[in-house]
Amino acid sequence: MEKTKRIMVSLLLCLSVFIAACSSKEDKWQKQLEQQLKITETKLSRLSKHIDEGNIANVGILKQYATIVKQQKPETRELVQALALDAGADGPIMKGLKVRLSDAKADIPGAVSMGDEQVNKVFQELSSIEAAAKPDTYGMLLSDPINVLADMSQGKLARVASMSKEASKRINDAEDFGVGSQLVGNPQYGHWSSQGSGGSFWQWYGQYAFFSSMFSRPISYGSWGNHRDYSYYNDYGRSMYTSPSQRSQQETVERRTREKFKRSNKTFKSPYATTKQTTAKVSRTQSKFQPKTIAKSKTRTASSKTTTSNYRSSSHQSSRSSYGGK
């Protein structure tokens, strides 16, 4: 009896130590996630203030270009107004970042209880939003709609942080899909619609549907993947301005397209296999964003390896889709 009692006491002590260790680890994760949440919330609030106060150059350029193109091409008025919304702090891009922040905040308690893998996924999402909230990065993202407006002006307005259309096509072995092609692949403006044949075609959200009339033909994912041109989102901003569910959808479309090409003995190159060339200014100042990780590391700022956050892979929808989209 005495021996059995000693064994029971030892087991209880071990269990107590184990529970205390788990509790300590969960407390640490909780604090780290809450700290990153606070940082991200602050950065997003500051970005909103910078947009309102006109401190981001490309915000002013987007407004100016939109005014000029509306006067030049009155038939595109509604489309141009939709593109110009992101020159305001309540524009769709900001709304999308706020939705992602709200989702990540709601996921913190569950992630802490599920372990380091889920903790890292939430932390990576928070750090991605933090990076997206940098004023200079947000300004560069706006270069895509600005350059679309420049192309719509038929040369009267200059592109920003980008080569001319002709030079970019030649250097990047790109196909001219039509005005607005810089926005293809960006889930803020549309999505890839899968067809019964296994192929996928770009479908604009409702407020951007006018772009379809400017394209010579529907854009297939396979053709775009092999011959897309430069855009800030696809070459630099995708890791920051894409929600986990949107990234999962992109990966699904790419996998299906690759399988379709393989069955037909054709070659398919990922749209993101190489970074397309643009101006030296952009290539010097921008780099591929790598989300941070906290679990299994000694410091909070340790760089993550090439992992893809896929939590909320089916529930999150872009704020654009609720703004007249499908």
Q: What is the per-residue pLDDT across 56-82, written as a single tens digit (0 to 9) for each?
A: 999 999 999 999 999 999 999 999 999
Environment class of residue 283 by beta-carbon count within 10 Å: exposed (0-12), middle (13-18) or buried (19+)?
Answer: middle
Residue 288 pLDDT grade (very low, low, confident, very high; cuts 50, 70, 90): low
CA separation for the pair 70, 76 (Å, rounded): 7
Q: What is the pTM of this model?
A: 0.83
pLDDT of residue 143 exceeding 90, the answer is yes
CA separation for the pair 292, 240 (Å, rounded): 12
Any idea which residue has 């006067």 for tokens?
A: 71
User: Letter for the amino acid at 294?
Assistant: I
286 and 236 Cβ atoms separated by less than 8 Å: yes
Sign of CA pseudo-dihedral 178, 179, 183, 189: negative
* Distance from the Cα of residue 185 to its chain's centroid: 10
What pLDDT does 309 receive? 38
CA separation for the pair 102, 119 (Å, rounded): 16
DSSP, collapsed to helix, strand or coil, labels residue 52 as: helix
Q: Among 181, 183, 178, which residue's Cα sits nearest to residue 216?
A: 178
Half-sphere exposure of 82 (CA within 13 A, CB side): 23
What pLDDT does 18 receive? 46
Half-sphere exposure of 50 (CA within 13 A, CB side): 19
CA separation for the pair 244, 100 (Å, rounded): 9
CA separation for the pair 190, 222 (Å, rounded): 17
Contacts of 285 (CB under 8 A, 6+ apart): 136
What pLDDT does 279 receive? 83
pLDDT of residue 22 exceeding 70, the answer is no
Arithmetic mean of pLDDT, 15-20:
46
Tokens of 115: 């372990």
Beta strands in 161-228 (DSSP E): 190-194, 200-204
pLDDT of residue 300 exceeding 80, the answer is no
What pLDDT does 195 receive? 77
What pLDDT does 292 receive? 76
What pLDDT does 85 receive? 97
What pLDDT does 285 receive? 67
DSSP, collapsed to helix, strand or coil, labels residue 35 as: helix
* Distance from the Cα of residue 85 to its chain's centroid: 18
pLDDT of residue 320 exceeding 60, the answer is no
**Residues in the chain, how many?**
326
pLDDT tens per residue across span 223-280 = 999 999 999 999 999 999 999 999 999 999 999 999 999 999 998 989 999 999 998 7
88 and 51 Cβ atoms separated by less than 8 Å: yes
Q: Which has more confidence, 218 or 281?
A: 218
- Break the chain into its structural domains and give their ranges: 25-285
Residue 325 pLDDT grade (very low, low, confident, very high; cuts 50, 70, 90): very low
Any idea which residue has 């010579």 for tokens?
A: 216
What pLDDT does 20 receive? 46
pLDDT of residue 286 exceeding 80, the answer is no
pLDDT tens per residue across span 109-137 = 999 999 999 999 999 999 999 999 999 99
What pLDDT does 9 receive? 45
What pLDDT does 155 receive? 87
160 and 61 Cβ atoms separated by less than 8 Å: yes
pLDDT tens per residue across span 172-230 = 999 999 999 999 999 999 999 987 676 899 999 999 999 998 887 899 999 999 999 99
Q: How far is CA 128 from CA 109, 210, 272, 294, 319, in A?
A: 19, 31, 18, 14, 17
Any idea which residue has 């700290």 for tokens?
A: 35
